[in-house]
Amino acid sequence: MVIDRKECAKLLRENGEFLVLSHEHPDGDTLGSAFALCEILRLMGKKRAFLCCDKISADFSYMTDGFTPDEVKNPFIIAVDVADVKLLGSIADEYGKKVDLSIDHHLSNTYYAKNNFVEDRAAACEIIYELAAELGVEKNRYMRNCIYTGLSTDTGCFRYQNVTPSVFRVAASLAEDGVDNVKINKIMFETKTKSFLRLEMIARETLEYYFDGKCAVITITQDMFRKSGSGEDECYPITALPRQIEGVLVGAVIKEQKDGSFKVSVRTEDGIDASEICKRLNGGGHKGAAGANFGNDYNEGKKLLLESIKISLDGIE
């Protein structure tokens, strides 16, 4: 069932025990939403617990340290920022069919829950912010920090296309009431681990330009992860790098998987459809960012990738 904010608030008021689920590989928005929601529930005098299939990075300790879960027996189950049951990861089988309420900002949400409250927002945290107001729960600093975390991480610190007037207005209100935005920005956007720096150096050595510099490709192998002490979870900024280079219209990062196969992440400038490039490789995604699997033959996969990129580049000329 599709529900609105008022109906969502009603469900929170009516129930007494809650279990809040976040998606696998938890990021700032799923965690910020989950812990802000848990805090709302606590302030309403409810019992609440939290579950995620993966370990939470120590970067988020300012959210997790302040959290002591209640014992819940037959909880009302809420998934936040989870567009699809599969994204619950290893707890999908156990909880996937039992989700009572999904609160999400992805229009691609599959409406898997009994009740689905989905709004097209930059971050799920934006929805939680308004839910608190709807419930008449006053936001304390901890909750504001949780909400700010989702808002800033999902918008690349107010940099991406998804930034709306509402995003800035929520940020203004959080800042007005007091929020540790500088501390959070530092953790989320400024700090680089030594292992990441090593990985980035090694990976950047592989940078290749094609088609008069309109395409740039970086390759990351498992051996590089071993040598740098880094891992898949630190790759994100490298994925963005090739397309950030002046003159580059299509950026690709080819990553070797643990099983020896290769995956490619493609990022494109406006006017070139990354999902089309990846569809020709049996992958898919969005206009600006898409992906595909290569199989185990790096050279053959890259050849097909470059052919597909060329078709799209030729299309704009």
The CA R_g of the chain, rounded to the nearest whole Å, is 21
Asked if residue 187 lies in contact with residue 59, where contact means CB atoms within 8 angstroms, the answer is yes
Q: Does residue number 61 form part of the binding site for a copy of itself (CB under 8 A)?
A: no
**Dmax of the chain from CA atoms?**
62
Confirm or reject binding of residue 58 to a copy of itself (CB under 8 A): no
Say if CB 264 and CB 301 are below 8 A apart. Answer: yes
Of 284, 283, 193, nearest in space to 238 by CA: 193
Give the integer Cα–Cα distance in Å for 232 and 253: 12
Cβ neighbours, 10 Å, residue 90: 9
Distance CA 3, CA 77 (A): 16
- From the list 4, 66, 138, 193, which residue makes contact with a copy of itself (rule: CB under 8 A)? 193
Q: Cβ 180 to a copy of itself, closest distance in Å?
A: 11
Q: Judge whether 153 and 32 are in contact, CB under 8 Å.
A: yes
Shortest CB 169 distance to a copy of itself, Å: 5
Is residue 141 a contact residue for a copy of itself (CB under 8 A)?
Answer: no
Min dist. Cβ of residue 235 to a copy of itself (A): 16
Identify the residue among 194, 227, 287, 303 touching a copy of itself (CB under 8 A).
194
What is the total count of residues that contact a copy of itself (CB under 8 A)? 36
Token pair of 79, please? 């998934």
d(CA 167, CA 148): 10
Q: Which stretch binds a copy of itself (CB under 8 A): 47-55, 117-125, 155-163, 292-300?
A: 155-163
Which one of 13, 86, 97, 192 is in contact with a copy of itself (CB under 8 A)?
A: 192
| Member of 201, 229, 282, 295 binding a copy of itself (CB under 8 A) | 201
Q: Is 289 in the site for a copy of itself (CB under 8 A)?
A: no
- The least CB distance from residue 229 to a copy of itself, in Å, is 12
Q: Within 229-248, which residues bind a copy of itself (CB under 8 A)?
A: 241, 244-247
Q: How far is CA 240 from CA 22, 45, 96, 301, in A?
A: 25, 43, 32, 20
Question: Which one, 190 or 317, has the nearer CB to a copy of itself?
Answer: 190
- In this structure, what is the dihedral angle of CA atoms 150, 152, 153, 158, given to the nearest 10 degrees? 140
Binding test (CB under 8 A) with a copy of itself, winner from 6, 45, 71, 165:
165
Stretch of residues binding a copy of itself (CB under 8 A), selected from 7-15, 139-147, 166-174, 224-232: 166-174
Using CB under 8 A as the criterion, which residues of the chain lie in contact with a copy of itself when the complex forms?
A: 157-161, 163-166, 168-169, 171-173, 175-176, 181-182, 185, 189-194, 197, 201, 204-205, 207, 213, 241, 244-247
